């Protein structure tokens, strides 16, 4: 199975870049499953339903969220009705929406996608390790599902790495999101799970993690609350990873970075 994961979409610049690139990437890379983290898509904070619809229409099979999931209150009824839009699994019971989705990706193959949030320097949610273990015990990679992807939305690389090693061999891909900076540690772990600490963002990198740099820097200089941060609106880089799995086992055969447009060095996976 060929899996494309695009990191946190930030603001209009990021949205427009993803909408422009995603259909082309699906075709050129012959993607079976496309996942987009879009928790910052609406002016940098949350996701509005109309923007979710445009991302689905452009080719996203699943949209994942994170700590900004509820910044747009209008998303609450929408997420309850749209199983392919998922929020962190370890939110408390009764939270609208779901933290995972199982979907068919063609030829009778099924994929399971989980969205989990870390706890170090983040909100004190339920344990992401135990919560994930409980759900993964219900599925067998290479058996009941042909691929399993986990979007681990977290601040600390140590927590992301610990999670990936804990579930190495049980899932196809553990991809970190949230820090908006692509890491260079993409690898296939010894047990066959593809891993990267952070996929990076789809947004303008002439910024402070996607936000206009003047206002963001001023907060560090003065330590005073200022105007609400606004996304940078220059040319975006589309960042993510491409993973190819073994059709029999569901484990990863390779993982490659993807960086297109904007200021960062370019990287396009080989087909």
Residue 223 scores a pLDDT above 90: no
CATH number of the domain enclosing 162: 3.60.21.10
The pLDDT value recorded for residue 246 is: 97
How many domains are there within the chain?
1
Q: Could you tell me the two tokens for 108?
A: 């009778």
pLDDT grade, residue 222 (50/70/90)? confident
How many helices, marked H, and strands, marked E, lie in the chain? 6, 14
Cα separation of 7 and 241, whole Å?
8
Q: Which residues are catalytic?
A: 68
Asked if residue 99 belongs to a domain, the reply is yes
How many whole angstroms separate alpha carbon 207 and alpha carbon 132?
A: 34
Residue 270 lies in a domain: no
Whether residue 98 lies inside any domain: the answer is yes
Is residue 268 one of the residues assigned to a domain? no
What mean pLDDT is predicted for residues 135-142?
A: 96
Strands (E), the chain: 2-6, 8-9, 33-37, 62-64, 85-86, 100-106, 109-117, 147-153, 173-177, 187-188, 194-196, 201-202, 238-245, 252-260
Residue 93 belongs to a domain = yes
User: In the prediction, which pLDDT does 106 show?
Assistant: 82
Has residue 120 got a pLDDT over 70?
A: yes
pLDDT above 80 (res 249) = yes
* pTM of structure: 0.95
Q: What is the mean pLDDT of residues 29-56?
A: 96
Residue 25 counted as domain residue: yes
Residue 266 maps to a domain? no
Q: What is the mean pLDDT of residues 55-73?
A: 95
Domain that residue 63 falls in: 2-260
Band (226; pLDDT cuts 50, 70, 90) = low
């Amino acid at each position: 199975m060929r899996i494309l994961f695009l990191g946190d979409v930030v603001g209009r610049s990021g949205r427009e870049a993803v909408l422009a690139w995603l259909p082309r990437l699906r075709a050129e890379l012959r993607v079976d499953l496309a996942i987009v983290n879009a928790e910052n898509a609406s002016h940098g904070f949350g996701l509005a339903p109309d923007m979710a619809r445009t991302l689905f229409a452009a080719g996203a099979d699943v949209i994942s969220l994170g700590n900004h999931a509820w910044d747009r209150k209008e998303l609450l009824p929408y997420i309850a009705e749209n199983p392919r839009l998922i929020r962190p699994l370890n939110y408390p019971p009764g939270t609208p929406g779901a933290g995972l989705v199982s979907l068919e990706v063609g030829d009778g193959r099924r994929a399971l996608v989980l969205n989990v949030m870390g706890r170090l320097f983040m909100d004190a949610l339920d344990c992401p390790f135990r919560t994930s273990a409980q759900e993964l015990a219900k599925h067998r990679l290479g058996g009941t599902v042909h691929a399993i992807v986990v979007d681990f939305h977290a601040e600390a690389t140590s927590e992301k790495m610990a999670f990936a090693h804990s579930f190495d061999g049980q899932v196809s891909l553990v991809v970190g999101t949230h820090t908006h900076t692509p890491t260079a540690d993409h690898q296939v772990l010894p047990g066959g799970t593809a891993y990267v600490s952070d996929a990076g963002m789809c947004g303008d990198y002439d910024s402070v993690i996607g936000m206009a740099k003047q206002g963001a820097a001023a907060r560090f200089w003065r330590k005073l609350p200022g105007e609400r941060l606004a996304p940078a609106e220059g040319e975006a880089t589309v960042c993510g990873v491409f993973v190819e799995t073994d059709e029999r086992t569901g484990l990863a055969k390779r993982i490659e970075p993807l960086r297109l447009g904007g200021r960062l060095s370019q990287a396009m996976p080989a087909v």
